[in-house]
Amino acid sequence: MTSIYLDYAATTPMDPRVREAMAPYWETVFGNPMSLHSHGQKALEGVEAARDSVARLIGADSPEIVFTGCGTESDNAAIKGVAFARGQGGHIITTAVEHHAVLHACRFLEKQGFDLSVVSADRFGRVNPDDIKDAITSKTILISVMHANNEVGTIEPIEAIGALARDRGISFHTDAVQTAGHLPIHVDTMNIDLLALSAHKFCGPKGVGALYIRKGTPFEPLLHGGAQEGGRRSATHNVPGIVGLGKAAEIAMKEMEDENRRIDELRRRLLNRLMRDIPDTCLNGHPEERLPNNINLSFAQVEGEALLMHLDHAGISASSGSACSSGSEDPSHVLLAMGLSPEKARGSLRLSLGRFTTREEIDRAAEAVIEAVGRLRELSPAGKS
């Protein structure tokens, strides 16, 4: 029996077209893009073509794209970069449902003397722009709100939040790690000043990301050294990775619309089946304003980790929360922030679909989840009574 991968929100398999585009850069085109000789210049051409593709994906100008090592680095560089450029005493606003790459970077800055407001979300994980507005003070230097949540898939009203920031001259950062390459993004119309993305979330390679920094945004780099990337991120370029990111962006842009339609249909098929055949199941996250590939469910009397083990045994790879916090006993901070009890939060299952998911896999996965939940309920004390 072949296994079924339904954890695309954690990471994605690399598209063979991306691998093919990267291949020459491991071997023949190995130069350092900062070198003036022809080996270096050929590598530089690959890097700059990738920069153009990433810029096109989000409606930016190429010089505003900085290549990084991952989404976590992009988030950290954006948040600390603005904070350090503006200096201590500044106030930062973020939300309770952010990825830890944002939340922990903000908490770090709080320890360094910055003021921090963490705005809550509603029961769907959606942030109200009015709450952001109420949190703004004369000292606010940065607002950071994610584009879509990695656990429950809820899409945030970032355009409205960005407009609040823009009107007041406050820098606006969005973590678009789950949306870049999946949803249309335009940094101008969405009022974004800084945006983090990561190649491995849209069928590109691991270990490479990008940070968009709008021209004129105050920014102090995290890494100092050889002044690559216009002095905004020193380090010899990961040329194969960057070329792979560029190719992944190019493919995503071309195929996004059709792909989203296909995935949305598969997601609805799976969700309808599970909701129909498993009683006492609730969908976490926004019913409509959500990523087309995300399902997050809580099953009464079922413990998430046990369910994952049953599914793994049946050849299904899924997740009980964010990949980064799995292995931790703590219930998801996102589900808790949405008002779920710790028990319910521990009973959650995230199924995330992607480019290589088929209808046949969805039907097999549905059977496996129905069976696993049924078994676990039989074993649970409440099920026996």
Q: Where do contacts with ligand PLP occur on this chain (CB under 6 A)? A: 70-72, 75, 99, 101, 146, 150, 175, 177-178, 198, 209, 322-324
The SS3 assignment for 258 reads helix
| Residue 193: partners with Cβ closer than 8 Å, 6 or more residues away | 162, 165, 171, 172, 173, 213, 214, 217
Minimum CB separation of residue 348 from ligand PLP in Å reads 16
Minimum CB separation of residue 160 from ligand PLP in Å reads 20
User: CA-CA distance, 22 to 29, in Å (whole number)?
Assistant: 10
Name the residue nearer to ligand PLP (CB basis): 71 or 241.
71
Minimum CB separation of residue 10 from ligand PLP in Å reads 6
Beta carbons of 88 and 109 less than 8 angstroms apart? no
Check residue 127 and report its DSSP letter.
Answer: P
Minimum CB separation of residue 148 from ligand PLP in Å reads 8
Name the residue nearer to ligand PLP (CB basis): 71 or 221.
71
| Choice among 106, 203, 282, 324 that is catalytic | 324
User: CA-CA distance, 318 to 357, in Å (whole number)?
Assistant: 13
Name the residue nearer to ligand PLP (CB basis): 76 or 228.
76
Tell me which residue has its CB nearest to ligand PLP.
71
| E strand residue ranges, 126-168 | 140-144
| Residue 383: partners with Cβ closer than 8 Å, 6 or more residues away | 301, 376, 377
Name the residue nearer to ligand PLP (CB basis): 107 or 273.
107
Sequential DSSP letters for 310-374? HHHHTTEE-BSS-GGGTT-SSPPHHHHHTT--HHHHHTEEEEE--TT--HHHHHHHHHHHHHHHH
How are the residues of the chain apportioned to helix, strand and coil, as percentages rounded to the nearest 5?
45, 15, 40
Name the residue nearer to ligand PLP (CB basis): 68 or 117.
68
Axis-axis angle for helices 71-86, 100-111 (nearest 10): 30
Beta carbons of 334 and 348 less than 8 angstroms apart? no
Query: Taking the CA of residue 365 as centre, how many other CA atoms within 13 Å lie in the half-sphere pointing to its CB?
Result: 29
Minimum CB separation of residue 334 from ligand PLP in Å reads 10
Minimum CB separation of residue 220 from ligand PLP in Å reads 21
Name the residue nearer to ligand PLP (CB basis): 100 or 269.
100
Question: Is 70 annotated as catalytic?
Answer: no
Cite the active site residues. Answer: 324
